[in-house]
Amino acid sequence: MTAETKALKRELRSELIAARARLSQEQRFERSRLVAERLDALPLLAAARVVALYAALGTEVDVGATSRRLSARGVRCLFPRTVPGERRLLFCACEPFELVPGPLGAAEPPPSARLVALEEIDAFVMPGVGFSEDGLRLGRGGGYYDVTLKEAARAARVGVGYDLQLRPALPREPHDVPLDAVVTESRTLLFTRSPRP
């Protein structure tokens, strides 16, 4: 990563996190509800039997309603756990109420939760700091999802955020992993990713 790209990403993260923080709790709740409705209608999730979700950190879109709806349909919902000393995620089956504080601040599955192999995951629904209209995701900067998604190339990749997190384009780097969809409260953007096993 060039120093210029690194600085640009850092500036974008600050700008987008600040914009997200200006939303009231009521606005975040309502917009998260609308995102959940759009996820219900997303073909990429319709046939999924195992879906990796996340526990919202701070002002991220809350996908709790999506977790409940998927579970009611018999879908196995997983949540990420960080791997100490490594930039990748493991996914475990557990109920949202079982999540415990993790080392990076996000709620994670407890140590007793059953690990599920990445190959079993049909779709990832993930947060981001920002998203582009051509299918890129700007994360928090740790690279955890980029590394993990490269190991799970078959699974659908769905980014969720608020409209205010969407940009026409983002700085692009060779290690960036493209998405199959971005869902906000008012838009569902679908992309063609190749190759896709």
Dump pLDDT digits (tens) for 56-102: 999 999 999 999 999 999 999 999 998 878 888 999 999 999 999 98
Q: Which two tokens stand for residue 147?
A: 């590394």
Dump pLDDT digits (tens) for 119-153: 999 999 999 999 999 999 998 877 889 889 999 98
Does residue 168 have a cis peptide bond before it, meaning omega lies within 30 degrees of 0? no
Whose tokens are 């290690």? That residue is: 175
- DSSP for 92-111, please give it: EE--GGG-EE-TTSSEE--T
Fill in the amino acid letter for 168.
P
For residue 133, give the DSSP letter: T
Residue 179 sits at φ, ψ, to 5 deg, of: -100, 165
| CATH superfamily of domain region 3-190 | NagB/RpiA/CoA transferase-like (3.40.50.10420)
pLDDT for 88: 83
